């Protein structure tokens, strides 16, 4: 080759290499605090999109005029029938998603090609400690890392380009039944995470790690320790104040008290305040937990902590004396509202208890709160203190009591959205009641569901069933559009069942939500009119996102029915046939089609009941204490409907329950808390229930 041509070829090769390096650099820009606070219009960098967590996108290419052209661009089969609750995130042409057991996948956001998959190898037996399946609600981005929080308590940073692990930090030990199901958040270079486990018995805390190294920055406990000894953590200076709100004796000392921050965490960068939504008490019954004494801080509260060192700033307790499995872990959304002619910087939350709260985010002052569903646990709020006037009749005893709303909540974890254009908040709501009663003879079971509830046999059961039927007559679910200034519903769209998914809103005034009709739908944000719907074959419970790539706007959603909402609905015996979970991505002009839904497998008749009536009664109580959390009350529904076991499962029942035969499916052995006689009693109860309901629910 002549020298001139060789030189030209070398220059051409160099230019190609240089341009490739430039493209590579551009395709993975480092994500810093300013990007997380105010991402570009085409991005969705964090769980709530911005620090405000409004789940509002400025994109407008998809609008009311062309929404009918929205079609499936690509999808990915996720190979699981577990609930998929994660909000994906998007940056630089790549979509990141996380599945049950924290398996994390990076996709080419335009084509759906899998770029890498990271499996943190979570021990499947840990699923026994997850009240509502081994789900994950999302992940975080920081600089060139994807950050995940695993069910077994690790925070892991993964290289965004390669999917290789960068660092890993264990955030808890084995002293309590801790898990993590919430999405980690990155605020100003710190990864902030709480944990799940309040139904099992845990001492709640929040922890911040350095996002570059995984080193602990601070930790704050949300309930007192069993002894007054200091923890050596950021919560120490106010622990005496917390302790005074608990009884001197009570099972909280054994079971931790609860208040675990299992999902909602928010941040104000100007105030450098981290807002922590806390969970229910452990055990669930106030009678057993704290001898029916004290407010039990910080159960069911919002706690504001200083981001730098985790020190206490303020708190507002929404449910003192918490007795109903109410949690305040629903979305915390920041906004600026004009209230009585004054611009107020607020946080807003619509938690399980049925009130919609507007709170000053600098001081914790309650600005307003009104119910948006039927309730009877509270008779109103004190206008001076913001404290609820608790209905004495809602504090149940051994005699069953019907309480509104029920423990699944008027609004649970499903993400809420807020539009600064319409000035409305959007969230799925559920109007229903639940029957509660105390079991006076209950004893705690460490590392297992610890409610302290009773009334499952005899006359109490008969009354429970009557009250449950009464609650069913007012039950309804809907998508709510709520005016936080007027404190009233602007509109609502009826939906058939509880468990409707998280919400996103765009600047073209479209509200997107997955529904229990097994569809993904778009509504007019101002009127509630349904504008578009796509059959998804499995109800999407996760939060949707939208992003723009190469001039096209995309909308992405995980469709994977499961988790706590599914358990409630499965418990009512109205589960629908469904596909395995999928990640669905839409754009204008998308033409992909989902494969046909497979036919349901037939269910075998149950075996003949041979257990005595006494054994069945014993099995009923053991089931309620040990199994109902995952498998549904009265053995209806749940992760697996145990009335519909196969002959093979019946034959291997003790090996499954005591021997860990299904540990790879997340069903761990219970031989540490159940004897062989106990397992046989539970099996007898399940056979009894299967025979009672055979043919009536299929």
Tell me if 36 sits within 8 A of 186, measured CB to CB. Answer: yes
Report how many helices (DSSP H) and strands (DSSP E) the chain contains, helices first: 12, 39
3-state secondary structure 234-278: CCHHHHHHHHCCCCCCCCHHHHCEECCCCCCEEEECCCCEEEEEC
HSE-CB of 512 using CA atoms within 13 angstroms: 28
Q: Is 272 annotated as catalytic? A: no
Tell me if 571 sits within 8 A of 638, measured CB to CB. Answer: yes
CA 633, 636, 641, 645 dihedral sign is positive
Alpha helix positions (H), 27-133: 33-37
Tell me if 661 sits within 8 A of 652, measured CB to CB. Answer: yes
Structure tokens at 684: 């007898």
Q: Which residues contact 27 (CB under 8 A, 6 or more apart)?
A: 92, 93, 94
Task: Reduce the DSSP state of residue 238 to 3 states and report it.
Answer: helix
Tell me if 161 sits within 8 A of 149, measured CB to CB. Answer: no
Tell me if 289 sits within 8 A of 250, measured CB to CB. Answer: yes
Distance of CA 552 to the CA centre of its chain: 30
For residue 274, what is the enclosing H or E element?
A: strand 273-277
Tell me if 591 sits within 8 A of 635, measured CB to CB. Answer: no
Of 367, 401, 397, 587, the closest CA to residue 485 belongs to 367
Q: CA 603 → CA 281, 537, 641, 643, 695, distances in Å?
A: 39, 21, 11, 10, 10
Q: Which of 76, 152, 199, 325 is catalytic?
A: 325
Structure tokens at 7: 């030189």
Which segments of 6-77 are extended strands (E)?
56-57, 70-77
Structure tokens at 349: 């939350």
Determine the Cα–Cα distance for residues 223 and 243; give it in Å rounded to an integer. 8
Determine the Cα–Cα distance for residues 283 and 324; give it in Å rounded to an integer. 11
Angle between helices 613-626 and 676-693 (to 10 degrees): 100
Residues annotated as catalytic are 325
């Amino acid at each position: 080759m002549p020298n001139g041509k060789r030189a030209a070829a070398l220059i051409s090769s160099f230019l190609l290499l240089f341009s490739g390096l430039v493209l590579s650099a551009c395709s993975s820009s480092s994500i810093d605090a300013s990007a997380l606070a105010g991402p570009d219009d085409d991005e969705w960098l964090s769980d709530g999109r911005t620090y405000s967590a409004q789940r509002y996108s400025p994109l407008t290419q998809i609008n009311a005029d062309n929404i009918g052209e929205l079609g499936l661009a690509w999808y990915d089969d996720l190979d699981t029938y577990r609930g998929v609750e994660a909000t994906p995130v998007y940056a630089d042409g790549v979509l990141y998603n996380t599945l049950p057991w924290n398996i994390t996948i990076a996709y080419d956001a335009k084509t759906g090609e899998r770029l890498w998959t990271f499996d943190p190898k979570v021990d499947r037996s840990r699923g026994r400690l997850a009240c509502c399946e081994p789900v994950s609600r999302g992940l975080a981005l920081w600089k060139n890392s994807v950050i995940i929080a695993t069910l077994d308590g690790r925070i892991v940073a993964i290289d965004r380009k390669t999917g290789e692990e960068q660092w890993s930090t264990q955030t808890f030990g084995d002293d309590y039944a801790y898990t993590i199901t919430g999405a980690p958040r990155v605020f100003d270079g710190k990864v902030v995470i709480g944990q799940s486990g309040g139904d099992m018995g845990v001492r709640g805390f929040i922890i911040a790690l350095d996002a570059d190294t995984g080193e602990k920055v601070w930790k704050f406990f949300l309930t007192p320790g069993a002894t007054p000894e200091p923890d050596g953590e950021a919560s120490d200076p106010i622990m005496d104040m917390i302790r005074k709100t608990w009884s001197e004796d009570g099972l909280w000392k054994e079971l931790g008290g609860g208040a675990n921050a299992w999902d909602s965490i928010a941040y104000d960068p100007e105030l450098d305040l981290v807002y922590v939504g806390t969970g229910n008490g452990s055990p669930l019954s106030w009678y057993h937990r704290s001898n029916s004494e004290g407010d039990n801080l910080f159960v069911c509260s919002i706690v504001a902590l200083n981001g730098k060192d985790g020190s206490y700033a303020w708190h507002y307790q929404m449910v003192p004396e918490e007795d109903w499995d109410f949690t305040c872990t629903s979305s915390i959304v920041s906004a600026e509202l004009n209230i009585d002619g004054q611009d107020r910087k607020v946080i807003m939350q619509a938690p399980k208890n049925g009130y919609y709260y507007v709170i000053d985010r600098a001081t914790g002052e309650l600005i307003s709160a009104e119910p948006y569903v039927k309730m009877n646990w509270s008779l109103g709020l004190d206008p001076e203190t913001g404290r609820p006037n608790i209905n004495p009749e809602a504090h149940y005893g051994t005699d069953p009591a019907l309480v509104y709303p029920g423990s699944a909540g008027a609004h649970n974890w499903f993400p809420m959205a807020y539009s600064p254009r319409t000035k409305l908040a959007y969230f799925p709501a559920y109007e229903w009641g639940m029957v509660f009663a105390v079991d006076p003879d209950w004893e705690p079971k460490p590392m297992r569901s610890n409610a302290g509830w009773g009334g499952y046999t005899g006359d109490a059961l008969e009354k429970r069933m009557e009250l449950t039927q009464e609650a069913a007559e007012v039950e309804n679910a809907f998508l709510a559009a709520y005016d936080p200034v007027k404190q009233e519903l602007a509109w609502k769209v009826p939906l058939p069942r509880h468990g409707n998914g998280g919400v996103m809103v765009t600047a073209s005034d479209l509200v997107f939500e997955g529904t229990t009709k097994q569809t993904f739908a778009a509504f007019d944000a101002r009127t509630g009119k349904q504008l578009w719907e796509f059959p998804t074959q499995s109800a999407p419970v996760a939060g949707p996102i939208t992003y723009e790539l190469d001039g096209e706007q995309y909308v992405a959603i995980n469709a994977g029915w499961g988790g706590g909402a599914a358990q409630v609905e499965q418990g009512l015996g109205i589960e629908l046939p469904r596909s395995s979970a999928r990640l669905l991505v839409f754009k204008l002009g998308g033409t992909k089609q989902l494969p046909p839904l497979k036919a349901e497998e037939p269910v075998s008749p149950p075996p003949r009941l041979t257990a005595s009536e006494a054994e069945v009664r014993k099995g009923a109580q053991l089931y309620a204490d040990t199994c109902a959390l995952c498998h549904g009350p009265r053995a209806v529904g749940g992760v697996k409907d145990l009335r519909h076991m196969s002959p093979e499962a019946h034959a291997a029942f003790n090996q499954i329950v005591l021997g860990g035969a299904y540990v790879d499916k997340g069903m761990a052995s219970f031989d540490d808390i159940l004897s062989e006689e106990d397992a046989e009693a539970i099996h007898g109860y399940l056979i009894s229930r299967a025979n009672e309901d055979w043919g009536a629910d299929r």
